[in-house]
Structure 1
Amino acid sequence: MARQSGLTGWLNPLLLTFWVGALWMTAITASVLFQTIPDRQLAGQVAGRLFTIVSYIGLGSGLWLLVQRLASEGFSAFKQGLFWVVFVMWVLVLIGEFGIQPLLAQLKASALPNDVMQSVFASRFRTWHGVASIAYLVECLLGVWLVVKSR
């Protein structure tokens, strides 16, 4: 995102750093949770909560960055690669938080009182969890690209 003065001059890079940093820190933390906590259900609950928080950070940060870019650049924002990278990241957050995560929660609820991985829903859960993981990885990598290119 181009250099700007005033509020957006420091707010845009701050929001971008906060969002991308939260993405990567949550990925690392989730890995540590599953390595440290013997109860996989508990580790999954804590990790899920962290991913939800990061999703809302991404929704707010991404929306601000997109709206601000449109307000300052007008329709020429649509010709900028940085705009589209933020947009794709923001869409991935929407898909993950409001599409995939509710599906995973429903599969977990349907498996009760058993763990979803010990139920007939295990295969579907693994598939959708894999899709979510790939989308999250893409978001993380796009975030790194965005941080490098926006300097």
Structure 2
Amino acid sequence: MKKWIAVLIGAWLGLQLSAGYLFAPLLFQHLDKMQAGNIAGISFNITSYIGIVVWLLAYIANRKNTRHNYGRSFSGKAIMLLLLLIIANQFLVTPVIEAYKTNTSNWLLSLVGGSFGLWHGTSSIIYMACSLLALILVFRLTALEER
């Protein structure tokens, strides 16, 4: 089970890095902004939903292995943080960006305000933080496999 989780995590990380740092820039280089943004948004949505499933599985698998001190271990806290960041980006920040693109209302946008650039930047920072945290966790969890 641990090896399958490690493979899933590695595959998701590859998808995350490819979507955000290879695929999206190429889209914006070769297509108009709106079309590129729509296609990139679809790839980010797919990556987020896959990430939620993969990191939930990692959470469950890691919790089974470290039952007594799970909440205090770095990996346990990092996996929970990563899940929260992906969920927040997908279900809080992304709908605000979509509201800007479609010129509709959003409860969080009404509550907090901000520009499209601010929300897009926030999403980008969360995306980068998830990528870096996942990279650290891949090395950490695979190193624990070998011990």
CA shift for structure 1 position 73:
2.1
Q: State whether structure 2 residue 20 is matched by structure 1 residue 29.
A: no
Q: Distance in 2 between matches of 1:105 and 1:68?
A: 34
Q: Find 1:80's aligned residue among 63, 68, 73.
A: 73
Q: Deviations over 1:15-55 (max 9, x none)?
A: 11022111101111111111121x11000000000000000
Gaps of 5+ in 2: 105-113, 143-147
> Number of matched residues?
132
Contact 2:2 2:61 in 1 (8 A): no
Q: Find 1:133's aligned residue among 124, 128, 131.
A: 124
Q: Find 2:115's aligned residue among 109, 117, 124.
A: 124
| Matched residue type, 1:36 | H
Higher relative contact order (CA 8 A, sep 6+): 2
Q: Distance in 1 between matches of 2:29 and 2:56?
A: 34
| Matched residue type, 2:130 | E
- Find the structure with the greater CA-based Rg: 1
Q: Distance in 2 between matches of 1:70 and 1:49?
A: 31
**Runs (4+) off by over 4 Å:** none
| Matched residue type, 1:130 | G
| Matched residue type, 1:137 | M
TM-score (norm 1): 0.82
SS in 1 for 2:68: helix
CA shift for structure 1 position 75:
3.4
Gaps of 5+ in 1: 1-7, 112-122
Q: Distance in 1 between matches of 2:46 and 2:68?
A: 31
